Structure 1
């Protein structure tokens, strides 16, 4: 980053690596299934959003916990550096890089987290980058609500995109958000609950002082509630096989942010987000390199 090239987007979230195992169907308890693909990935949503947005051409940065000096930490930092994501991270020899194992089929995912001190590490990270961008994306999961509140309060006048990740926001987080300029609040619901998307968005909009609340609904696209009513944008028809669903919401956020920062209106930005999410789920290369493998029984 240079003085004449300010950041477009800065993302705040925990940083981890993930192993994404793709299956055709989940096994019953004490049963087994076959893994059809194995992928290595970044996690959580913030790092994936930063990398995807960088691949779309935005100048991005990541504010997160540090990683260990182990191979997983080296890989995580290499992904950020290859995408030219600005960060102040250095591997810590005395730490273990947080990791997730994610089981994914074409519609759902289940995760197992070994996040060590990723959450607590967020409570102490420097936040100066949040006030030096055109837009700040902040993950507001329940487990990092305290750190997210601190990030929101330290963002200054930077407009915010808050990602709830399907969680219920805490009152303290809402209070902090309502003292800042929140461009949009984003959350997600299961595809089977698509009929409730409008109500979910409307409920959140009553709690947040924001012009837009967005609910992503997987293959059904996205629903937004604004002063002018409800905007529904379907996801585009995939032009290739859905390979995984991990990171689809983060890809949506990146596509939406890129479009908004490029001057798009809300329907156009929602469409761009949906297109980015679909592209992410069908592509073997962006932003996680899917490595086809021989079928492996679990």
Structure 2
């Protein structure tokens, strides 16, 4: 049976309020003048992964809880205006919100509103199963209501990926996702020993690949072949915002995986997509397209700058945060 969708994205729909601040950390003061304005726009982790996958030509459907409120309208418009199929399940606590403080160098500090998750809100198992059965792969956000969907996805027979974001390696909320996915993304930001955490994910779970992103230092890829370093890709333009870079990396990696590429090539695609995202202001939503991704990956490979490990490459230890 031919799948209707390449990827089903679960969770991670919401609205961010973007505030460009003069520096991070922001010094204490009674007030600050914000020269570049304050703007609320749809686009959280699931929204950006869905956007990135679609821009790369993958048929994508996004499913999440969303409120019957003005912020939910922004989320629905985000998908409608970009031709992204979206199913919104009513959320009694309202649409997920966050405030992102963005410094002049593109660094970001996110403040997430934890009150927008009602215990009774769930993604209906029947709906999840129906969409999963029509998909090749599912990417699951760690947002409210998604952990309960993992057994349904496994029963549907799809492969699963997840992004643990700034997991510290200890918070139990992340464990069902970490140990229940075939591909696991995580940031090095809060990991005291990234390699130990990556290996524990593989040992305790079902992951075939674990990727730890380290910003300008690149990323680290762990597979059955061992741990290798993925060099950062120099952005083609000025770095204006790191918001969405991890989501873009995940989209690029998954594009490679679903295209039949080996893990190092997938990681190169992720690095290229993540670098592109850093050139896009947080108040916009744009992702690299397939032609741009393949062109840049080919250029890096031809120049020998793709960081592909040599056969038999030795052990690589990722840095601390």
Give per-residue Cα distances to partners, 1:7-65, cap 9 Å, x unaligned: 01111114211122233412222365554545544343112101121122111111110
**78-87 or 152-161, larger mean C-alpha shift:** 78-87
Aligned partner of 1:292 in structure 2 is: none
Q: Secondary structure at the match of 1:206?
A: helix
The CA distance in 2 between the partners of 1:261 and 1:31, in whole Å, is 51
Contact 2:64 2:123 in 1 (8 A): no
The CA distance in 2 between the partners of 1:169 and 1:138, in whole Å, is 19
Aligned residues: 277
The CA distance in 1 between the partners of 2:193 and 2:178, in whole Å, is 24
Aligned partner of 2:213 in structure 1 is: 216
**266-275 or 147-156, larger mean C-alpha shift:** 147-156
Pick closer, same or farther for the CA change 1:16–1:206 going to 2, 3 Å. same
Give per-residue Cα distances to partners, 1:180-220, cap 9 Å, x unaligned: 6x3211111229x7x94333322322222221111111112
The CA distance in 2 between the partners of 1:169 and 1:237, in whole Å, is 32
Aligned partner of 2:10 in structure 1 is: 12
> Higher relative CO (CA 8 A, sep ≥ 6), structure 1 or 2?
1
Please list every run of 5 or more consecutive structure 2 residues that lacks an aligned counterpart in the other structure: 287-321
Task: Select the residue among 117, 123, 133 that pairs with 1:131.
Answer: 133
What's the CA shift for 1:273? 0.7
Task: Select the residue among 248, 252, 255 that pairs with 1:251.
Answer: 248
Pick closer, same or farther for the CA change 1:278–1:15 going to 2, 3 Å. same
User: 1:118-267 residue pairs with structure 2 within 5 A?
Assistant: 118=117, 120=119, 122-125=121-124, 126-128=127-129, 129-140=131-142, 144=144, 147-155=145-153, 156=155, 157-167=157-167, 168=169, 174=175, 182-190=181-189, 196-267=193-264
Pick closer, same or farther for the CA change 1:8–1:39 going to 2, 3 Å. farther
Please list every run of 5 or more consecutive structure 1 residues that lacks an aligned counterpart in the other structure: 290-298
Contact 1:68 1:95 in 2 (8 A): no
Q: Secondary structure at the match of 1:152?
A: helix
Structure with higher strand content = 1
Aligned partner of 1:50 in structure 2 is: 50
Q: Secondary structure at the match of 2:166?
A: coil
Aligned partner of 2:307 in structure 1 is: none
Query: What TM-score does the superposition give when structure 1 sets the normalisation length?
Result: 0.80
User: 1:92-107 residue pairs with structure 2 within 5 A?
Assistant: 96-105=94-103, 106=105
Pick closer, same or farther for the CA change 1:130–1:44 going to 2, 3 Å. farther
Two-structure CA RMSD over aligned residues (Å): 3.1
Q: Secondary structure at the match of 2:227?
A: strand
Aligned partner of 1:112 in structure 2 is: 111
The CA distance in 2 between the partners of 1:217 and 1:278, in whole Å, is 12
